[in-house]
């Protein structure tokens, strides 16, 4: 049933051998920001499990308030470079390409993982606004209360510095041997807080209209392209929902979405990684298309879906880990959507976190392993 997924996809210099991609998942096992041999083995096992592409956990860009947890990896120094080189070699050893997901947490810095050794600093917010006071959240309510007071909007200098940080980190990633660059532009983090009208109230060129709100993300993409050259594919993750409010929406209509995506597509995004909690949820009334479907239709750029592939739907609104258990109920539905051309790639998160051999089981006997929450606390 998954045969149609066994076709390659060329994205600039990267050949993705099949259409299943390991979705970015933060694991916090990189003490001091440096990937260990265990981390390399963890990614190698997923590559050996047959995925077409590994996208790593979020990796801090080279900026003082990019990420808040000391277990999140970075690319800033020789030690981290050596750690990443071992990861890249391990994944390449299984004939699989690997892209890092470059991450700046923006307004969410020091909110999710408070008290875990975060250095001092002030989070970057386009208009000084964190998010709504009453959103559906999975973060600690007291951290939201602490985050709500307005701070200074980002200055032109801060904006330019942040864009440079993405480009610097992307250049280093490619020098290390990564095959492409994934950018985290979703879930209410820095790029998304420019896209989202709730957090971007600017009236200068970085806001003011949907294309203005897309400018920061577009400039990040352009800066990365200039840093990495023409053969390296660039993916950008986007989402309607935010960590500051799972009910939030970037766009209420296809036209609004098109306005936001146009500048990003023009900047040279090769793949939109379209984050949804559940791939089978239509984006707008009147059509079954999901986010990846609309993005591909509106931009013509390749897109990737994600969300609950291989998992039953638990129904809990705002938790990444929500008690969902393996199921083959929806594999047919995701393949049908793929075969209709709705999107080009399918990302899989929790199923692969739980079981590096998940894809082989999905293609074969479907003897799935139960989801074991203990696997969140270790690198199996």
Ligand X SMILES: Cc1cc2nc3c(=O)[nH]c(=O)nc-3n(C[C@H](O)[C@H](O)[C@H](O)COP(=O)(O)O)c2cc1C
Q: Which lies closer to ligand X via its Cβ, residue 153 or residue 304?
A: 304
DSSP per residue over 145-210, as a string?
A: HHH-S--PPPPHHHHHHHHHHHHHHHHHHHHHT-S-EEEE--BTSHHHHHH-TTT----STTSSSH
Element (H, E) at 102: strand 98-103
- Separation CA 130–CA 132 (nearest Å): 7
Q: Which lies closer to ligand X via its Cβ, residue 114 or residue 211?
A: 114
Would you say 242 and 196 are in contact if contact means Cβ atoms under 8 Å apart?
Answer: yes
- What is the 8-class DSSP label of residue 370? P
CA atoms within 13 A on the CB side of 58: 23
Q: Minimum Å distance from CB 66 to ligand X?
A: 12
- Separation CA 328–CA 318 (nearest Å): 23
Q: Residue for token digits 């995506």?
A: 261
- Separation CA 356–CA 141 (nearest Å): 34
Q: Which lies closer to ligand X via its Cβ, residue 237 or residue 302?
A: 237
Q: Which lies closer to ligand X via its Cβ, residue 101 or residue 110?
A: 101
Q: Residue for token digits 């981290």?
A: 80
Whether 189 sits among the annotated catalytic residues: the reply is yes
Q: Minimum Å distance from CB 307 to ligand X?
A: 5
Q: Which lies closer to ligand X via its Cβ, residue 97 or residue 307?
A: 307
- Separation CA 38–CA 28 (nearest Å): 12
Would you tell me which residues interact with ligand X (CB under 6 A)? 23-26, 57-58, 101, 184, 186, 237, 275, 306-309, 311, 320-321, 348-351
The residue whose Cβ lies closest to ligand X is: 349
Number of residues in the chain: 380
Q: Minimum Å distance from CB 20 to ligand X?
A: 11
Coil, helix or strand at residue 118: coil
- CA Rg value for the chain: 19
Q: Minimum Å distance from CB 168 to ligand X?
A: 20
- Separation CA 102–CA 184 (nearest Å): 6
Q: Minimum Å distance from CB 142 to ligand X?
A: 22
Coil, helix or strand at residue 103: strand
Q: Could you say which of 42, 43, 166, 189 is catalytic?
A: 189
Q: Which lies closer to ligand X via its Cβ, residue 200 or residue 305?
A: 305
Q: Minimum Å distance from CB 278 to ligand X?
A: 7
Active site residues: 189
């Amino acid at each position: 049933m998954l045969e149609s997924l066994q076709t390659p996809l060329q994205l600039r210099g990267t050949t993705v051998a099949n259409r299943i991609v390991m979705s970015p998942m933060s694991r916090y096992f990189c003490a001091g920001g440096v990937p260990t041999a265990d981390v390399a083995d963890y990614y190698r096992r997923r590559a050996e499990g047959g995925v077409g592409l590994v996208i790593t956990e979020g990796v801090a860009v080279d900026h003082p308030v990019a990420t808040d947890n000391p277990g999140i990896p970075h690319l800033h120094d020789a030690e981290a470079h050596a750690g990443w080189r071992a990861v890249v070699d391990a994944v390449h050893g299984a004939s699989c390409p690997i892209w890092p997901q470059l991450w700046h947490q923006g307004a969410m810095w020091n909110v999710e993982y408070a008290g875990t050794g975060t250095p001092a600093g002030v989070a970057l917010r386009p208009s000084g606004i964190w998010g709504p006071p009453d959103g559906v959240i999975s973060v600690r309510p007291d951290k939201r209360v602490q985050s709500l007071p307005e701070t200074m909007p980002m200055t032109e200098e801060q904006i330019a510095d942040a864009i440079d940080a993405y480009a610097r980190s992307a250049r280093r990633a490619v020098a290390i041997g990564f095959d492409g660059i994934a950018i985290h532009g979703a879930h209410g983090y820095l790029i998304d807080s420019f896209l989202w009208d709730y957090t971007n109230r600017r009236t200068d060129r970085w806001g003011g209209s949907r294309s203005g709100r897309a400018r920061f993300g577009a400039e990040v993409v352009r800066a990365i392209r200039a840093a990495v050259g023409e053969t390296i594919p660039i993916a950008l993750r986007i989402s309607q929902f935010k960590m500051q409010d799972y009910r939030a929406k970037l766009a209420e209509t296809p036209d609004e979405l098109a306005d936001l995506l146009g500048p990003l597509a023009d900047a040279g995004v090769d793949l939109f990684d379209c984050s949804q909690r559940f791939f089978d949820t239509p984006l707008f009334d009147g059509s079954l298309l999901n986010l990846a479907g609309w993005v591909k239709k509106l931009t013509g750029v390749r897109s990737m879906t994600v969300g609950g592939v291989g998992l039953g739907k638990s129904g809990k609104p705002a938790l990444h880990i929500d008690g969902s258990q393996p199921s083959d109920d929806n594999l047919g539905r995701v393949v049908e959507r793929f075969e209709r051309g709705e999107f080009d790639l399918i990302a899989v998160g929790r199923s692969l976190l739980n079981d590096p051999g998940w894809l082989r089981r999905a293609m074969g006997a479907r003897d799935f392993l139960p989801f074991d929450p203990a696997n969140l606390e270790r690198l199996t």
